[in-house]
Amino acid sequence: MGDIRTLAGTSPATTASALVPGPDPMVPRRYVITRVRQDTRDTFTLLLDPADGAPPLEFAAGQFTMLHAFGVGEVPISISGAPLEHTIRNVGAVTRALVEAAPGTEIGVRGPFGTTWAVDDARGHDVVFVTGGIGLAPLRPAILDVLAERDAYGKVLLLYGSRTPDDILYGDQMRRWADLNGVNVQMTVDNAPYGYKGRVGFVTELIAKAGFDPRNAWAFVCGPEVMMRSAAQSLVARGVPKARVRLSMERSMKCGIGLCGHCQLRELFICVDGPVLPWERLEPLMSVREL
């Protein structure tokens, strides 16, 4: 099943003897969990180092890996930081095994897979990140890419929503981005206890009044599907071109490399055509509820 890479300088029509097998994308590489950080009640960040001592995998913002808890199963999780961090919400058997693993435990990692946020395309423009709950984790590497070259971009906004104040992810980091990097961070929660001083309401409600130039903006959106659909519609209603609104899709996955069809969304295989896709491509698919 290993993919085949041609040797440098040879044509694609070269003979089999001049071909070398690449690493098999179905074989997990062993990594050691070096640290587990609890972010919220049910969400944890795993820091990983390769068990073989070789450099960790290289990735681009937006890509995901298949994480394998040996003896339990394998799940797709977006990369949330370098050299290799994954932020995981405990929702079922495999995610529970991963977040409950003690430092020193070995897990398997395949990838990185999938398309990227490609935030470079937004250089010279305003950038609006719209995200809800754990959706901030897949966006974090894109936000850090923008902040690493802050002067290359116009206004940078981060509109973030969570279910309750206790579910806010990376709260300290968001405050730092606002204070040190000039990011306009606006937070809201769906529900709050009596006396809560922050904003209450859905994150999509922030889009209408947020201070950016829609015709000059790019938007990067990640969160539950219903929230992403509504966010994309609000961004387009304000005048952001559909091709400049990118979303990260989630589907059930098995292989991660376009073989099994588990992640199919009509003509798209989300593991290879996505997870990051433009709204102009997704709009007709996301308005059909059964797909």
Ligand X SMILES: Cc1cc2nc3c(=O)[nH]c(=O)nc-3n(C[C@H](O)[C@H](O)[C@H](O)COP(=O)(O)OP(=O)(O)OC[C@H]3O[C@@H](n4cnc5c(N)ncnc54)[C@H](O)[C@@H]3O)c2cc1C
> Would you tell me which residues interact with ligand X (CB under 6 A)?
64, 73, 75-78, 87-89, 91-95, 134, 137-138, 250-253, 275
- What lies within 8 Å, CB to CB, of 77 at 6+ separation is 64, 65, 66, 67, 86, 88, 98
Binding partner of 187, given ligand X, ligand FES, none, CB within 5-8 angstroms per partner class = none
Binding partner of 92, given ligand X, ligand FES, none, CB within 5-8 angstroms per partner class = ligand X
- The four Cα atoms 72, 76, 79, 85 give a dihedral, to 10 degrees, of -10
Q: Which long-range contacts (CB under 8 A, 24 or more apart) does 226-235 make?
A: 227/132, 227/135, 227/161, 227/202, 227/203, 228/286, 229/286, 229/287, 230/202, 230/204, 231/130, 231/203, 231/204, 231/207, 232/279, 232/282, 232/283, 234/204, 234/207, 234/208, 235/128, 235/130, 235/207, 235/279
Cβ atoms 161, 200 nearer than 8 A: no
Closer CB to ligand FES, 30 or 262, in the complex? 262
Shortest Cβ distance from residue 115 to ligand FES (Å)? 12
Shortest Cβ distance from residue 109 to ligand FES (Å)? 16
Within 10 A of 215 (CB to CB), how many other CB atoms are there?
Answer: 12
The one among 258, 278, 283, 285 contacting ligand FES by CB under 6 A = 258
Closer CB to ligand X, 126 or 248, in the complex? 248
Binding partner of 77, given ligand FES, ligand X, none, CB within 5-8 angstroms per partner class = ligand X
**Using rule CB under 6 A, residue 259 touches ligand FES:** yes
**Using rule CB under 6 A, residue 255 touches ligand FES:** yes
Q: What are phi and psi of 181, to 5 degrees?
A: -115, 10
Shortest Cβ distance from residue 73 to ligand X (Å)? 6
Shortest Cβ distance from residue 111 to ligand FES (Å)? 11
**Using rule CB under 6 A, residue 263 touches ligand FES:** yes
Closer CB to ligand X, 91 or 243, in the complex? 91
Closer CB to ligand X, 138 or 214, in the complex? 138
Site for ligand FES (CB under 6 A): how many residues?
Answer: 12
Residue 209 exposed, middle or buried by CB count within 10 Å (0-12, 13-18, 19+): exposed
Q: Which residue lies nearest ligand X, judged by its C-beta?
A: 92
Cβ atoms 139, 111 nearer than 8 A: no
**Using rule CB under 6 A, residue 265 touches ligand FES:** no
Closer CB to ligand X, 28 or 76, in the complex? 76
Residue 218 exposed, middle or buried by CB count within 10 Å (0-12, 13-18, 19+): buried
Closer CB to ligand X, 75 or 107, in the complex? 75
Report the interface residues with ligand FES, using CB under 6 A.
253-256, 258-263, 269, 271
